[in-house]
Structure 1
Amino acid sequence: MRYAMARRPGRSLRIRLVAATCALLAAVCATIGLVTTVALNAFLAGRLDAQLAAAADRSLVAAGGSPPAWRGTDHKLDEGVNFLLVPGQAAETLGARISDGVLQDAAVLDGAGTPQNVPAEVAAPLLHVPVDGRAHTRTLEDLGEYRVQAVRTADGDVVITGLSMDAVRSTVNRLAAVEVLLILTGLIGAGFAGDSIIRRALRPLRRVAATAVGVTQLRLDRGEVADLARVPFIYTDPETEVGQVGAALNRLLDHVGAALTARHASELRVRRFVADASHELRTPLAAISGYAQLTRRGDERIGPRTTHALCRIESEAARMTSLVEDLLLLARLDAGRPLEREEVDLARLAADAVGDAHAAAPDREWRLELPGPGCPVTVLGDATRLHQVLANLLGNARSHTPPGTRVTTEVIGRAGEVMLRVADDGPGIPADLLPHVFERFARADSSRSRAAGSTGLGLSIVAAVVHAHGGHAEVTSRPGRTAFTVYLPAAPPRPARRAAVLQGAPDPRRPPGRGAPARPDGAGAAHSRG
């Protein structure tokens, strides 16, 4: 329970491996993409700076002259930026002249090579370009980013030449988009491919896990255990990690199988010993009790002390006989001896048992709650043993509760099962004893006295008999409320049984090898305590 609370929710190994592989691949691709993008940006920026340096040199050479003739005499341009008309200047080349710290003129060449004037407020950032002959980046409103370089002419004016960075930015962005698309596509493809590869690689591990799960579903606490499944030989290769796990699991299962075989053999020896000893003790116990009764009823006069001793001999012989009978019954149930199979009306059985309990202990309040006439509470089983279940539960309540306790017996029919509950308002069962009440020779402490001389086998017989009938027993207890609940499979409806017989299926009421079934009304069922 503590482990379940401390365990954190996790994912399967396959998902974690695929996620780790994709994460590593994504990191590598992102690093490659980032380095590629940065390298391309640096390369394009360097080439743009080289072009800018050449354009600035041309602008400096032509800074003081008039417009060249090869540009045409009909073109009107302020003389301040006539250096833009020098051959070799590319489209979107920016030119500006600053004189005495005042921006005189600024223009940009369009795609046709025609200068377009730039308003002073747009070109204002150019006033702060350092005149150091190096390239700088400036952002001009409505024009975008420019790499600009400022040089000083012979007359002291500052000539600024700039080239647009739109082409560089567009190329870098296009490369980044292509890289992102390729990385995402590659990660998706790698995820599916990796999942398929890892799923195939982990198939032996799933086979090992399936073997372990199959073993955990077996009942290993009692009875003979069939040959435990083993991991196939092909999954036990010691050269692989999964093979090492499979081989280790097979060795573990070998040890477990050997231990279970030894445990079953020991159980058989103990069970045979208990059955033989119980059977052999019945005759001498009957003889002891008979001789004690014969001595007391003889013609010889015996003293009161001898009479008391004989009474005690008879009492202890009866108690030991009851213990021996209980041990013999448990040994037979453990050995899987078949029980009688007939229709048993639990309502009638409960009424008889409660009546017996009331006669035995009239100082307690005995209540019986039965379902209505339209709710059958019939089961297929051994009436004698089922009566013993009720007698043991009522006797347990009688033995471990004080006078005046209310004991309620309920019989409830539900879908496919019948529920039998015996509840009392006594002091309850100690919490440390509650998980062990159905174990053999379980003893209560002083909170539930043993004044009646219980053998400690009554509730274990209840659990064994109920289990032999295909049901189970439960107990809940707190001060003022202790309830033992028995669940038994309900008998199938008679039309269903008749249809099964007509189709050739065996009658579920009739055990193999028996003759005629029991009477439908359940008459003739034994109601002794057994």
Structure 2
Amino acid sequence: MAALLAAAGAAMSFATVLIQSDYLREDLDQRVTEAAERHQAALHLPTGGLTHLGFLRLPGQPIGTLGARVDSSGRVPAAGVVTDEGRLRVLSAAQRAALGGITADGSLQTRVIPGLGEYRLTALDGDGVLVIAGLPMADVQCLTSRLIVAEVVIAGAGLTVAGCVGAVVVRRQLRPLGRVAATAVEVARVPLDRGEVSGLSRVPERDTDPATEAGQVGVALNLLIEHVERSLAERQRTEERMRRFLADASHELRTPLASIAGYAQLMTGGTGELDPELAWRRVSAQSARMTGLVEDLLLLAHLDEGRPLSMAEVNVATLIAEAVWDARVTGGDHLWQVVLRLDASVSVTGDHARLQQVLANLLANARVHTPAGTRVTVTAEATDAECVVRVHDDGPGIPAAVLPSVFERFTRADASRARTAGREGGTGLGLAIAAAIVRAHGGRVEARSEPGDTEFTVLLPLARHVPQESRGR
């Protein structure tokens, strides 16, 4: 910035000197021409021959005015100059010799006169009378030199002042950038690789004005810090879910394993207190439960990896009828109802077995977590692009604290994992599996619940609207 200011100042000063110097030279040339014309006019008065220089004694002649007579052969027989005292001083032969060769065409020339310095000269010829007139260039050169010195001094002073003001302004402008840098350093010192990270420092609001460059940097840094904080918070939540998942999976696997180990130990001990057939039935039941849990976990893992499903057109009415029929068989103490508000030909593109598992899990959730006599209604309808299936029950509902995480793995209303006697216990994976399968089909599942009004909604794209990326999953 300082270099640009210096270059601009130097260019302006140089241009000023050139313009002023040209002006002074033109003014001098005009005065030389006028002096020559005065001399030419004065020569028409009675004179004393070629050596007569009386025209230089005319009133009003400037100091330093030079005049000369030229004969027909081009020699300068007489020449003189007006001295500082206003007197006429005749030039020597050497000085007259410097005036030779000047043509009488009115053009102006510059000659160095020994002992007098540089002169601006012109020659005029009128009625055979040739005269040379000239004025010294010392005044013009002196004014030009003074102008150069003045320009240099003014430019230097101006650049010094501009530099000082610029330095102050730049420092003031860079203060917000310094505070932004301090914020970045403070955030960089936070141990982001461990522990819970929250409340990271932000660039102050006064340093986030988008109209300034430093403010734009501050805004960008705040956005970056917010992104980092959200990412770290999400990482923390993911780690917590993973720890909870491992704890829940370990608990769910440990329970049947402990039961199997206990029955096996009793059978190995050969005590007569245990019916072998009953022991085998319990071992088989616990093995089946453990197998189901492992298969559910594998299914979730496969869905998370995006493994392709067996896609085909699935009739929605048939799918719902089969799922409700199976639920009615296992839940005879509930009231089951189907409401179809769509054509019998409406279909979706998907994996029949997995979609049936979605409905089975939703119906099992309604059956397991509601008392006998609860009405469960399955409603299906179609829009222009989607098929909407709703599973509604009038049971006690889902606790408000559990509802936001109802589709997460191992989520249960009973945080103690205890099971009510005589009630089928779930693993807490049913709704998570249902949500994962629906997502794999390009749809979504939603839940709302109040006492006496709980509804799960599954939205799937119709066959002709299914996204291409969902077909390949």
TM-score, normalised to structure 1, is 0.42
Structure whose alpha-carbon radius of gyration is higher: 2
TM-score by length of 2: 0.47
